[in-house]
Structure 1
Amino acid sequence: MPLIDGGEADRAYDPRQGSAPLGRVANARKLLLAAAAIMSGMLMLSSFVTTLLIAPTDYQHNGKASGRAIAFLAHRYFGVVFGSVYDLSTILILGFAGASAIAGLLHLIPRYLPRFGMAPQWAEHSRPLVLVLLAAGVVITLIFGADVEAQSGAYATGVLVLILSAAFAATLALSRERRYLLAFYTGIFSLVFAYTLAENCLERPDGLVIGTVFTLLLMLACAVSRSIRSVELRIPHGYFADVESWRIGPELTGKKVHLVPISSSAAEARRRTKAEIVRHYNVRGPFFFLHVHLLDNRSEFSAPLELSLQKEDNDYVGEVSGAVAVANTIAFVSEHIDPISIFIGLTRRDLMAQAVRYLLFGEGETGLMVYAVLLRYWKWTADDDVRPVIFLKSE
């Protein structure tokens, strides 16, 4: 489908302007319709022919036609030469099908899993990903002993879950678009595939067990990856919200301010925090109060920042929008302005609960996480760089 040409009308397609490749969509529908018609016809005809021409005993486990019904007929009725050519073509087709599946994974995994932090950064590159997928294929083949029957239960369960999910998603989408007739049509298919999936799981529970194990392993790997990568900066770039902020920006860089992240943007909170710092710490120089607004969608692993700056007497006030995590945002701003010191308050709450809040919602024990993020980043910077002094103060 990515290779489909939509014609001259799609040459000016630009997703940033909200346009759609209508020609490509129309041709993709033709492709899907043709593939569905061909597959449906071949499956029905092959089932009809094999039922009439193959004895039930040959269909049994370890029978002559077990797992190779059409090949069995090719050898019996068209001779050894034709049957061997058919076997070779079947092997090549299955090989191309595997290569197509690998190509699909190489297209999907780098596009989605690293975006949510559920895969390491090397998964964005094709070569290591090919080796990992190849190794997984070899391990699975060895576990099942290259036995088609042993893998058929898991394969059937996976395919039925995939089709059921697609049918259910189509039903929801059509209902929201108020196309109720098509939604009813896809809803009927959802019920049919749900019944088929239930029957398949009851008859061959091994497929459900194997699929569940693979799903849990994948979820565990994604969770571990996200937890490990959570101490990255997770911010591709930042930009100023307006010209005034762009003008003020250079006044903050190069050991000129003390960075003070605050949980409230109220002026009273800034005055109270400044008075507390001046009373307990011997510091000079202006303060840069930073307040972070998080994205509504916390599942995003990284996102650009919008920074708004203003001057308040001798101090500075910054508002950051579009952040995915508070601690990572503070570390990102710190590395770009290079402050004299950083004053961060501790929450006095359970550390494990705060760690979970950080992983799920981007909040939590900010002070310790800022230090962890900066430590990881500093491993990649020069040792002679003068780092800011970090003060963790009780709130």
Structure 2
Amino acid sequence: MSDQPGAHAEPAKPHHQSFWLWVMCLTGVDYFSTLGYQPSIAYENAGLLAPLATIVLVLVTLFGALPIYWYVCGRSHGGQGSIGMLAKLVSGWGGKVLVLTLLGFAATDFVITKTLSGADAAVHLITNPNWPLEVPDDDEKTRQAIYVTGFLLMLLGASFMRGFREVIGLAVVIVGAYLLLSGIVIGAGVAHLVKHPEAFHQLIEHIRAGEWYLKESERPLAGTGLFTIIAISLIIFPKLALGLSGFETGVAVMPLVKGRPTDDPKDPKGRVANTRKLLITAAAIMSVYLVCSSVVVACLVPPEHLVKVNAAGAERDGVADKELKAKDRALAYLAHGENREGKLLPFFGDEFGTVYDIATVIILWFAGASAMAGLLNLVPQYLPRYGMAPEWTRATRPLVLMFTVINLIVTVIFRANVDAQSAAYATGVLVLITSGCVASVIDIWQRRTGRWYSRLCWPFLLITLVFVYTTIANVFEKPDGIKIAAFFILAILVTSFWSRWARSRELRFAGFKLPDAESRLMWDTIRDLELTVLVPHRPGRRSLANKEGQIRREHRIPRDLMIVFVEVELDDTSDFVNEPELRVTREEGRYVVKITGAASIAHTLAALALEMAKVGRPPEVHFGWTDDSPVSGTLGFLLFGEGNVPWMVRDLIRRAQPDESKRPLIIIAGTA
């Protein structure tokens, strides 16, 4: 606010808003692009039980994730998503660490989105018959995949370095074309199965006989009965969690959704309603595509082209990755007419398959662009505000360069292998959805009144437990996901706290809020004094009269020089930049400046003195001596906003004001 001393914040520029169906395509470049690899990953993890496990996934999508994010978008309409909700519900250092940990999982999600999408795009290019380079063996295939993935990631980074912007119109074209082509492939498969149900009947017989093409080590239960099959499908479905990736992105694009002209910016009901339409439509489309693609792939793609195990689950010897023609590209395999039933449509073949490959590569590349945009939006929103990142992290180009290097390192580590990265991707997705569940349960609990069982949202609690189980099961089955997430979390925590320590002596002042006209009038009065003497005071320890008598005696302050007492009340000391409330009152004939909502006593006092120095003669700030040791004083300053306050105030003022003639004078004396 311009009428507040020290305020400097500028209002954020409003986003260009569009029809919700078009904005859905921004979600779709991430969500729908998973069809490029999801059907084959589902088969690899569930074998012929993939359709059943996919149905479980769809049920969890429609009756679990969708209701949760229906609620989240109503409570986080600024696009902050589950992390933003939790950030509002928690405070203190524990809350900051929780948010930083979730940022680590979000970074895992977004980074692996880019590297996994690029790796799958490379698979579609390398396996295309028009690919100019020969691929004689698995080592050469891996080498080419790394090179192609790296090129796509560098191209992505270069696009953002030049000022890339998410263009909704381009996303509409890309998603529309990809869904149309995928719909043709999947629809042709479904139509074929309707006309020729023998393949579907054969699938049922294989399932009944226990011939699932599922590794023996991954069969958690013995038997082939109906209940055993259902139980195994329930246990297996967390491995298919890639199909849940669109919800956090769906909430993140909320600022771009056009609402009603009458929407209240603080409660845009029209925008919330349209975002909920977006979520429902995206989930419905994806559910249909997931179920139908899993059935078509299980029925029409030969198992020997997808997995290295036989019907009983035993490893087949001497099978090279090159022989798995449908691996990571099951729908493209059908589009090229390579399936055992022959071409599903007359025009399927290399030409149509190449068109489908190009569409797949484009949407996968654009999914990486969406993830990059998500990271560029997420990092400046939290880390610099928490004081846990240097100011350069607000700039786009350094961040793009840093993330591009990380992408290339991850690609080399995982050898551009889609399946190897799927666990980390699923882990990031599931943790973010689980955090959304937890945030929703806590938020509803705080908003309701009454006995504990009436305040608890039981349906959301049940959904939360489902996602907690799903997350734990995914981590247990594929620990690589939590390992890569732990690396990102550790990197964020270490660099964040190092940055917080390095930036601790920044003034970090966003201005004072003056709540009433009386405070404003008295604030102007004390600032216009010929010389203002500020004395920090902690209420409750001694009376103002006692404090004044002692400070005048020890500091030799004349009786005719007025003292202004300052009382600072700390709020959340883990906050970095805050905007405390300043109220000026008169007590016992003395001026008292009461400041509430502060994050640090030293920063608040330094900011107050510097604000006064802008009008007339710089004030004097008188302190009593402190017995804190250097170590305890520094730790108290960094963690609790207190510590060796006099020395910290002096240091902050010296750093913030290079002109000695304009610096407030810090005086330390006595034993008080």
Matched, 1:95 2:365: yes
What residue ranges of structure 2 are gaps of 5+ in the alignment? 1-253, 309-320
Q: Aligned letter for 1:376?
A: R
Q: Residue 60 of structure 1: which of 300, 304, 307 is its match?
A: 307
Distance 1:135 1:110 in 2: 19
Alignment partner, residue 334 of structure 2: 73
Q: Tell me how far 1:155 sits from its aligned partner.
A: 1.0
Contact 1:201 1:207 in 2 (8 A): yes
Compared CA separation, residues 376 and 184, structure 1 to 2 (3 A): same
Q: Tell me how far 1:97 sits from its aligned partner.
A: 1.2
Compared CA separation, residues 107 and 149, structure 1 to 2 (3 A): same
Distance 2:587 2:447 in 1: 50
Q: Tell me how far 1:330 sits from its aligned partner.
A: 0.5
Alignment partner, residue 382 of structure 1: 659
Distance 2:352 2:486 in 1: 41
Contact 1:343 1:393 in 2 (8 A): no
Distance 2:663 2:262 in 1: 56
Contact 2:437 2:464 in 1 (8 A): yes
Compared CA separation, residues 59 and 348, structure 1 to 2 (3 A): same
Between the aligned residues of both structures, percent identity stands at 39
Distance 2:398 2:529 in 1: 40
Alignment partner, residue 499 of structure 2: 225
Contact 2:568 2:596 in 1 (8 A): yes
Contact 2:519 2:585 in 1 (8 A): yes
Alignment partner, residue 566 of structure 2: 290
Q: Tell me how far 1:362 sits from its aligned partner.
A: 1.9
The alignment covers a number of residue pairs equal to 385
Compared CA separation, residues 157 and 245, structure 1 to 2 (3 A): closer
Alignment partner, residue 201 of structure 1: 475
Q: Tell me how far 1:260 sits from its aligned partner.
A: 1.6
Distance 2:362 2:388 in 1: 34
Matched, 1:9 2:262: yes
Across the aligned residues of Structure 1 and Structure 2, the Cα RMSD in angstroms comes to: 3.0
Range moving further from structure 2, 97-106 or 205-214: 97-106
Distance 1:385 1:161 in 2: 51
Alignment partner, residue 640 of structure 2: 361
Q: Tell me how far 1:45 sits from its aligned partner.
A: 1.6
Q: Tell me how far 1:370 sits from its aligned partner.
A: 1.4
Within a 5 Å distance, the mapping from 1:134-213 to structure 2 comes to 134-174=404-444, 183-213=457-487
Within a 5 Å distance, the mapping from 1:21-40 to structure 2 comes to 21-40=268-287
Q: Tell me how far 1:255 sits from its aligned partner.
A: 6.3
Alignment partner, residue 600 of structure 2: 325
Q: Tell me how far 1:53 sits from its aligned partner.
A: 2.1
Distance 1:173 1:240 in 2: 30
Question: For residues 26-73 of structure 1, what are the alpha-carbon distances to aligned partners after superposition, in whole Å with 9 as ceiling and x for unaligned?
Answer: 111111011111111111222111112223332236222222222222
Alignment partner, residue 298 of structure 2: 51
Q: Tell me how far 1:384 sits from its aligned partner.
A: 5.2
Q: Tell me how far 1:340 sits from its aligned partner.
A: 4.6
Distance 1:371 1:186 in 2: 51
Contact 2:564 2:591 in 1 (8 A): yes
More strand as a share of residues: 1
Alignment partner, residue 246 of structure 1: 520
Compared CA separation, residues 273 and 214, structure 1 to 2 (3 A): same
Q: Tell me how far 1:117 sits from its aligned partner.
A: 2.2
Distance 1:162 1:314 in 2: 55
Q: Aligned letter for 1:300?
A: D
Q: Secondary structure at the match of 2:262?
A: helix
Distance 1:286 1:181 in 2: 54
What residue ranges of structure 1 are gaps of 5+ in the alignment? none
Q: Which is bigger in relative contact order (C-alpha 8 A, separation at least 6)? A: 2
Q: Tell me how far 1:345 sits from its aligned partner.
A: 3.2
Distance 1:83 1:301 in 2: 54
Alignment partner, residue 309 of structure 1: 584
Distance 1:171 1:257 in 2: 51
Within a 5 Å distance, the mapping from 1:343-354 to structure 2 comes to 343-354=622-633
Q: Tell me how far 1:140 sits from its aligned partner.
A: 2.7
Distance 2:493 2:292 in 1: 40
Q: Tell me how far 1:251 sits from its aligned partner.
A: 3.8
Matched, 1:85 2:355: yes
Q: Tell me how far 1:6 sits from its aligned partner.
A: 1.6
TM-score, with structure 2 as normaliser: 0.52
Distance 1:282 1:113 in 2: 46
Compared CA separation, residues 252 and 28, structure 1 to 2 (3 A): closer
Compared CA separation, residues 93 and 393, structure 1 to 2 (3 A): farther
Q: Aligned letter for 1:357?
A: G
Contact 2:612 2:619 in 1 (8 A): no
Q: Aligned letter for 1:196?
A: T
Matched, 1:236 2:500: no
Q: Tell me how far 1:208 sits from its aligned partner.
A: 1.4
Q: Secondary structure at the match of 1:275?
A: helix
Compared CA separation, residues 356 and 43, structure 1 to 2 (3 A): farther
Contact 1:346 1:365 in 2 (8 A): no
Q: Secondary structure at the match of 1:67?
A: coil
Distance 2:479 2:489 in 1: 15
Alignment partner, residue 336 of structure 1: 611
Distance 1:157 1:79 in 2: 36
Compared CA separation, residues 129 and 83, structure 1 to 2 (3 A): same
Question: For residues 254-291 of structure 1, what are the alpha-carbon distances to aligned partners after superposition, in whole Å with 9 as ceiling and x for unaligned?
Answer: 7602322122267x543334333443444443332211
Q: Secondary structure at the match of 2:596?
A: strand
Range moving further from structure 2, 385-394 or 155-164: 385-394
Q: Secondary structure at the match of 1:114?
A: coil
Q: Tell me how far 1:113 sits from its aligned partner.
A: 3.0
Distance 2:442 2:534 in 1: 48
Distance 1:305 1:190 in 2: 36
Q: Tell me how far 1:239 sits from its aligned partner.
A: 4.3
TM-score, with structure 1 as normaliser: 0.85
